[in-house]
Amino acid sequence: MRCAVQSWFEYPLEMLCWIIFIPLYSFGGLLLLKVISTQFSEIGGWTFHGLAFFYGLGIVTHGLHVIFFFAVWHTNYMVLNGEFDRILLYPMNPFFMFIIQSFNIAGYIDITPGIIIFTYACLKLNLDWNAVAILKLIAVLIGGTLIRTGIFMIAGAIGFFRDTRNAVTNFMVDFLAYNTTAFPLNIYPYGIQVILTFLIPVGFINTYPAQDFMGMDNTFSIPINLSLCTLLVGIAFFLLAYGFFRFGLKHYKSTGS
Amino acid sequence: MSIIKAVHLRKRFIVKKKEPGLKGALKGIFAPKKIIINALDDVSFSMKKGEIIGLIGPNGAGKSTTIKILTGILQPLSGEVEVMGLNPQKKRAEVVSRIGVVFGQRSQLYWDIRLGESFELFRRIYRIPDEEYNANLELMDSLLGIRRLIDIPVRQLSLGQRMRGEIVSAVLHSPDILFLDEPTIGLDIQAKRNIRKFIREINQKKKTTIILTTHDLGDVQELCPRLVVINKGKIIEDGALDAIVHRLAPERILQIDTDKVKKDFTYPHCKMIKCEENKMWISFNRENVSASKLIAALSAEVRINDLQVKEPDIEDAIEQIYGEG
Amino acid sequence: MNKYLYIMRIKIISHLAYDIDVIFPLLLNFVWIITMTSIWKYVYAQNPDIHGVSLPQMQTYAIVSTLVGCFCRHEVQEELYYRMRQGTIAIDFIRPMNLVVSWLFEDIGNMVNNLLKNFVPILLFAVIFIQVPLPQNLSIIPLFVLSVLLCALLLWLISLFFGLLTVVWVDFGNLGVIRDPLLKIMAGSFVPLWFFPGWFRKVSDWLPFKYTYQTPLSIYIGKLSMTGSLAAVGIQAVWITVLCVCMYLFWQKVKKRLLIQGG
Q: Which CATH number is B53's domain given?
A: 3.40.50.300
Average pLDDT (B59-82) is: 90
pLDDT for B49 equals 94
Distance from CA of C256 to the nearest CA of B (A): 9
- Taking CB atoms and an 8 Å cutoff, what residues of chain A touch C39? 36, 183, 187
pLDDT for B60 equals 82
Distance from CA of B183 to the nearest CA of A (A): 24
Q: Looking at the complex, does the CB of residue B24 fall below 8 Å from at least one CB of chain A?
A: yes
d(CA B167, CA B175): 12
- Taking CB atoms and an 8 Å cutoff, what residues of chain B touch C90? 68, 73-74
pLDDT band at B284 (very low <50, low <70, confident <90, very high): confident
pLDDT band at B315 (very low <50, low <70, confident <90, very high): confident
d(CA C113, CA A85): 34
How many domains is chain A partitioned into structurally? 1
Q: Looking at the complex, does the CB of residue A158 fall below 8 Å from at least one CB of chain C?
A: yes
pLDDT for B324 equals 64
pLDDT for A39 equals 75
Do B266 and B228 lie in a common domain?
no
Residue B4: exposed, middle, or buried by beta-carbon count in 10 A (0-12, 13-18, 19+)? buried
With CA atoms as reference, the chain B residue closest to A165 would be B112
How does A169-202 read in b/e, with b if 16+ C-beta sit within 10 Å? bbbbbebbbbbbbbbbbbbbeeebbeebbeebbb
Q: Looking at the complex, does the CB of residue C19 fall below 8 Å from at least one CB of chain B?
A: no
d(CA C68, CA C151): 9
* β partners of residue B181: B103, B213
Distance from CA of A97 to the nearest CA of B (A): 29
State whether B125 and C95 contact (CB < 8 Å): yes
Secondary structure element (H or E) that encloses residue B45, with its range: strand B33-48
How many domains is chain C partitioned into structurally? 1
Distance from CA of A27 to the nearest CA of C (A): 10
d(CA B193, CA C20): 41
DSSP structure string for A158-182: GGGTS--SSHHHHHHHHIIIIIISS
Do B235 and B152 lie in a common domain?
yes
With CA atoms as reference, the chain A residue closest to C16 would be A164
Domain that residue A249 falls in: 2-255
Q: Convert the pLDDT of each residue in A14-68 to its tens digit.
A: 778 888 888 888 898 898 888 888 877 666 778 899 999 999 999 999 999 998 8
State whether C259 and B75 contact (CB < 8 Å): yes
Domain that residue C178 falls in: 2-261
Q: Work out the end-to-end distance of chain B between its first and last CA atoms, rounded to an integer number of angstroms.
A: 32
Amino acid making up residue B30: F
What is the longest distance spanned by two Cα atoms in chain B?
77
Q: Helices (DSSP H) in B71-216: which residue ranges?
A: 92-96, 115-125, 130-144, 159-171, 189-206
Q: Work out the end-to-end distance of chain C between its first and last CA atoms, rounded to an integer number of angstroms.
A: 27
Give the distance, in angstroms, between the CA of residue C116 and the centroid of all CA atoms in the same chain: 17
Q: Which of B174, B205, B240 is at the close of a domain?
A: B240
**Residues sharing a CB contact under 8 Å with residue C223, sequence separation 6 or more, in sequence order:** C52, C53, C57, C192, C194
pLDDT for B199 equals 93
pLDDT for B20 equals 67
Given a cut of 80, whether residue B137 has pLDDT beyond it is yes
C-alpha dihedral, C197 to C203 to C204 to C205, nearest 10°: 110
d(CA B169, CA B116): 10
Q: pLDDT truncated to tens, each residue of chain C (263 aa)?
A: 688 988 888 888 877 766 778 889 899 999 999 999 998 988 888 778 888 899 999 999 999 999 999 888 899 999 999 888 877 787 888 888 899 999 999 999 999 988 888 899 999 999 999 988 888 788 999 999 999 999 999 999 999 999 999 998 888 888 888 888 888 889 999 889 998 888 999 999 999 999 999 999 999 999 999 999 999 999 999 999 999 999 999 999 999 988 887 75
Q: Convert the pLDDT of each residue in B298-314 to its tens digit.
A: 888 888 888 888 877 77
Distance from CA of C38 to the nearest CA of A (A): 5
pLDDT for B135 equals 94
- Taking CB atoms and an 8 Å cutoff, what residues of chain C touch A186? 42
- Taking CB atoms and an 8 Å cutoff, what residues of chain C touch B25? 171
Q: Convert the pLDDT of each residue in B229-252 to its tens digit.
A: 998 899 988 999 888 887 777 788
Chains that touch C (3 or more CB pairs under 8 A): A, B
With CA atoms as reference, the chain C residue closest to A39 would be C195
Say if residues C163 and C76 touch (Cβ distance below 8 Å): yes
d(CA C147, CA C220): 10
pLDDT for B304 equals 87
Distance from CA of B32 to the nearest CA of A (A): 14
Distance from CA of A38 to the nearest CA of C (A): 9
d(CA C41, CA C47): 10
Average pLDDT (B15-34) is: 72
State whether C260 and B75 contact (CB < 8 Å): yes
How many domains is chain B partitioned into structurally? 2
pLDDT for C17 equals 65
From residue C50, alpha-carbon distances to A40, A187, C217, C223 in Å are 10, 18, 16, 11
Rg (CA), chain B: 25
Q: Looking at the complex, does the CB of residue C86 fall below 8 Å from at least one CB of chain B?
A: yes
C174, C177, C185 member nearest A28 (Cβ): C185
Q: Convert the pLDDT of each residue in B155-170 to its tens digit.
A: 889 989 999 999 999 9
DSSP state of A203: G
ipTM: 0.87
How does A96-113 read in b/e, with b if 16+ C-beta sit within 10 Å? ebbbebbbbebbebbbbb
- Taking CB atoms and an 8 Å cutoff, what residues of chain A touch B25? 12-13, 16
Q: Convert the pLDDT of each residue in B191-207 to its tens digit.
A: 899 899 999 999 999 99
Domain that residue B284 falls in: 249-324
Chains that touch A (3 or more CB pairs under 8 A): B, C
Amino acid making up residue C70: C
Give the distance, in angstroms, between the CA of residue A138 and the centroid of all CA atoms in the same chain: 15
Q: Which of B185, B218, B240 is at the close of a domain?
A: B240
The share of chain B scoring above pLDDT 90, in percent, equals: 43
Which regions of chain A are under pLDDT 50?
1-6, 257
pLDDT for A6 equals 44
Q: Which of B240, B270, B296 is at the close of a domain?
A: B240
State whether A39 and C43 contact (CB < 8 Å): yes
How many residues are given for chain A?
257
Do B278 and B134 lie in a common domain?
no
State whether C6 and B124 contact (CB < 8 Å): yes
Do B200 and B293 lie in a common domain?
no
d(CA A53, CA A59): 10
Residues of C with CB under 8 A from a CB of A: 18-21, 23-25, 27-28, 31-32, 34-35, 38-39, 41-43, 46-47, 50, 169, 171-175, 177-178, 180-181, 184-185, 190-191, 195-197
pLDDT for C103 equals 94
Secondary structure element (H or E) that encloses residue B55, with its range: strand B52-56
